[in-house]
Structure 1
Amino acid sequence: MNCFVGVDVGTTNVKALALSADLSQVLAHASAPVETLHPKPVFAEQDPAQIWSAFVQVMAEVNRELAGAGHTMTHLAFSTAMHSLLAMDAQGEPLSHAIIWSDNRAEQQASDLRTTQAELGRQLYQQTGIPMHPMVPLCKLAWLREHEPRLLRRTACFGSIKEFLWHKLTGEFAIDYSIATATGLFDAANRQWSELALAHAGIRADQLSTPVPTTHQHPVRESGQTAGTGLTSAVSLVIGASDGCLANLGAGAIKRGTTTLTIGTSGAIRQTVRKPLRDEQGRLFCYILDDDYYVVGGPTNNGGNVLEWVTEKLAQAETDVLLAEAEAIAPGSDGLLFLPYLQGERAPLWDAHARGAYLHVEWQHTRAHFVRAALEGVLFNLMLINELLMKHTGPTRVIHANGGFAQSRFWVQMLADMSGVPVRLNASNESGSMGGILLTMKALGLVATLDEAAKLVEFGDTYEPDPKRHRLYQQVFKRWQLGLSQNT
């Protein structure tokens, strides 16, 4: 039996999902961890060699499972995290680690584009559709220009983790339009590198990969490097898109009024629109998914990492125990509020210097209160982003939720109560891989549009909001916003 595979290269794991050609069966699944390095304060890097090893491990496992059951992989599509940047030589070998989205070394360069160079920042936002922030490769390149000019001169190609993997598998330097729009270097309207951005970054267009549609295909180039993956030239690779865009598609969130909320290590809230969109104050991103599909929204630095911090550094207890304790606390945490800015913030503040805080701490508050307030704070920040998003796209009627947080019924019900709309989960939580597979079907002409592809998504549970808790959360949200305005 032929099958499709989606690979999701995230911040913490490389994962792969194999589905039958009619999408009715999960035929294989594998995952391998990826380590983030912090060589200096505010630095966040990953080793491309380790990511490649994780990819090889995952693909070898998937291929073993498929072969053992008599299945044949025909197509493989990629979903990858955005905003990574590494330097490569002419053969595609890394000259540096990958600087990932959570790296804040380019704080000053991003700040300049929002203050002293604000007019240039506005022009770049209008061209690229991405707010100026240290996560953006444009700002990282500006930092390298000032701090590592020799590396800039030695580099044949600057690219993302996806481009590194793609070159290893195909010999081609290519970047999909979706990842390209996340670089801050791409003129989205004209589908080409921005001369304005290149001049600011201090690099040439020939130091960047060739932009291609998200449905671009290329066969595997068999070599000694690819032998361990089990992939052969009979497998056609689909370049795919970014994890955020494919999380929308894989969650079946294509129609107006359907909002996707993802919480993994970080988080985001997004809608799919049919025309490019720009916020007048440059607070929302707009990424290309396909020819006539764009994903607009805002990302947060502070998602599942907040729960990790509470678990490991504050309460120092098992996550399941803490969640059970927090669930017993009333909504609103008896007045305790939490601003979740442990690693600066992207949307809606776009302030790498933002910091977290507990507010209105009282004697009665226990560790359960502190845990619940932290979970509520993460969602309040996402609701704040959603308020901004709805001004441009119209009201949210249903939320499609995915990411690691979707495994907690308590946290998902909290989202439904807070938002006041139904929250729907997918049958599979691998929305990035699923989105890649659906994009493959579009590339092969098996579906005519992504609207048609989204209809193939299967759903699991739906969480309905409790009206009483929603009214309470509306009042708590106002207090939380007041606390935010007084502490930022």
Structure 2
Amino acid sequence: MAAAQVSPPPPPPPPPPLYLGFDFSTQQLKVLVIDGNLNVLHQDNVQFDSELSDFRTQGGVHIHSDRLTVTSPVLMWVKALDLLLDKMKRAGFDFSRVRALSGSGQQHGSVYWKRGASETLNQLSPDQDLFQQLQDSFSVSDSPVWMDSSSSQQCLDLQAAVGGALRLAEITGSRAYERFTGNQICKLRQTRPDAYQDTERISLVSSFAASLFLGDYAAIDYSDGSGMNLLDIRTRSWSEVCLKATAPHLDQLLGAPLPSTSVLGPVSSYFVHRYGFSETCRVVAFTGDNPASLAGMRLQQGDIAVSLGTSDTVFLWIQQPRPALEGHVFCNPVDWQAYMALLCFKNGSLTRERIRNECAGGSWEVFSAALRNTPLGNNGNIGFYFDTMEITPPAVGVYRFDGDDNEVSSLSSQVEVRALVEGQFLSRRLHAESLGYSIIPGTRVLATGGASCNTEILQVLSDVFNAPVYTIDLSNSACLGAAYRALHGLVAESGVSFFDVLKTAPEPQLVATPHPTAPQVYDQMLKRYARLEERVLQESRS
């Protein structure tokens, strides 16, 4: 009798796929790895100043003698990527499991590829690192970055060419800013014509980084492209009038912009042979760090994110933009039919700390008690606290008003504490609404940053916005958003929404709900605040 044949055991299932998110930020290059269940499995980074000290940066940048020009060495970013991938390889990371990767870059930085650089990118040898092979690939060795403020004249020229600052904001989402890429390109063309003539392609930091992985020039995505003063945010194409005012033949140097969810192509064979990436690994368009943070926070329609740090930053998801002279409107990185807005306020935590020291004896407990012991609306007392020149609105000084709109020189300590906090959040709401934000059913306020651990401050935030406040950990939001976008990019073209892909992501924590009387108090107070802000602006100018 023949022995029964034993069938071999089935092969083990392949390990689950992974998704990489990179963040080329000002001071470091970071990577974060997630699996299909959105678990964070690996993180690493390269610090530019300490690990790449031969580039002699401070805070990742070179500040030039005029104090206005601020740049970063483009080859430092290249070398950082070599170093980061080598670290991962030494740690035993299995690159063959990576199904898709994406990334973010500090917004507004620009990279100038030299003539012939595309050939070099196409023919990279896996036997050498990127730094060795790209030595001669850039017509400008130090890239202008977001801290640069040396292009004031070019900003004035651009605004004049299109019909004024507000007209430029209506087209591109922002008035002219010195750090915005179009004005930096214009300055380079005027001051370094030879370098400009020798340029084959202009990338943002984000599309430059994507180009390294692609082995070819990567398109600028709509969202990061919105931070250039060049993209028409409604047609999502380059604005002819802005291009013409900036530089000749600029559309050829920029290439056509693409949706932020686009799959650009497979990873370059260089990474397949040098690090063991799969040939099927896809590169999803990289975007700016602020749009990537919006993705990392999983902000939805009607949501507002408020980062309470040294400066306060407000992120918004909006459907119908109303660009203004303050703030920025960008194309949304996860929904091409929507928009995101960004507002920055210089007088944030440092101003709160000053009032804490002066009115609460340096104690956050006393400061919080003052908020608990004073009524919503502060009996009509309103304060404006601009210790340094504010961005939104452009005013400086401290201004206090009583319930009859009379300016007063002082308030009691407890009233002053509430006047500060209410005033800050009324300002955030007023300027958010001016850009197209509206409170809708289901609106959430997501709070992050240092002051988000103070429940009394968050209660005022909830009351002023008449919306529940949640806290969210944003320590690595740009990197996490890039990894989420890599995962979503693979299914975006088939119509699967970003939020369907991220259903299992951890939820933010509910910390405050609005008082029932908040709408009747603050809807009226907001109108008063807007009128008084106009007065403050006039006083500040005089």
Whole-angstrom distance in 2 between the partners of 1:326 and 1:88: 56
CA contact (8 A) 2:384 2:398 kept: yes
- For the structure 1 residues 364 and 291, does the alpha-carbon distance in structure 2 shift closer, same or farther, using more than 3 Å as the test? closer
Partner of 2:496: 448
Partner of 1:421: 467
3-state DSSP class of the match of 1:444?
helix
CA contact (8 A) 1:9 1:15 kept: yes
Partner of 1:9: 24
- Given the alignment, which residue of 303, 308, 316 partners 1:271? 316
- For the structure 1 residues 86 and 110, does the alpha-carbon distance in structure 2 shift closer, same or farther, using more than 3 Å as the test? same
Partner of 1:217: 264
Q: Output the aligned Cα RMSD.
A: 4.4
Q: Does 2:70 align with 1:26?
A: no
Partner of 2:98: 73
Amino acid at match of 2:267: V
Aligned residues: 463
Partner of 2:67: 41
Amino acid at match of 1:220: V
Q: CA deviation at 1:4?
A: 1.3
Q: Deviations over 1:75-123 (max 9, x none)?
A: 2111233222233313243614232233222233324555x44616555
Partner of 1:487: 540
3-state DSSP class of the match of 1:398?
coil
Q: Deviations over 1:301-353 (max 9, x none)?
A: 637xx647999xx99x9xxx9784784573499987521655x62xx44xxxx
CA contact (8 A) 1:427 1:459 kept: no
Amino acid at match of 1:27: L
Whole-angstrom distance in 1 between the partners of 2:22 and 2:191: 34
Partner of 2:204: 160
Q: Deviations over 1:230-276 (max 9, x none)?
A: 86656422123333333333323223x222334567654343345x6
Q: TM-score, normalised by structure 2?
A: 0.69
3-state DSSP class of the match of 1:212?
coil
Whole-angstrom distance in 1 between the partners of 2:96 and 2:272: 23
Q: CA deviation at 1:220?
A: 2.8
Counting aligned pairs with the same residue, the percent is 17
3-state DSSP class of the match of 2:298?
coil
Whole-angstrom distance in 2 between the partners of 1:412 and 1:230: 48
Q: Deviations over 1:444-486 (max 9, x none)?
A: 2287123423544322322215649976999699398354553
- For the structure 1 residues 327 and 179, does the alpha-carbon distance in structure 2 shift closer, same or farther, using more than 3 Å as the test? same
Amino acid at match of 2:506: E
Q: Does 2:295 align with 1:249?
A: yes
- For the structure 1 residues 191 and 117, does the alpha-carbon distance in structure 2 shift closer, same or farther, using more than 3 Å as the test? closer
Partner of 2:172: 128
Shifted more, 87-96 versus 400-409: the winner is 400-409
Partner of 1:85: 110
Pairs within 5 Å for 1:301-340:
302=346, 307=349, 324=364, 327=367, 330-331=370-371, 337-339=384-386
Whole-angstrom distance in 1 between the partners of 2:514 and 2:167: 44
Q: TM-score, normalised by structure 1?
A: 0.76
CA contact (8 A) 1:258 1:271 kept: yes
CA contact (8 A) 1:19 1:27 kept: yes
Whole-angstrom distance in 2 between the partners of 1:309 and 1:225: 51
- For the structure 1 residues 309 and 280, does the alpha-carbon distance in structure 2 shift closer, same or farther, using more than 3 Å as the test? closer
Q: Does 2:243 align with 1:198?
A: yes
Whole-angstrom distance in 1 between the partners of 2:517 and 2:475: 27
Q: CA deviation at 1:27?
A: 0.6
CA contact (8 A) 2:223 2:287 kept: yes
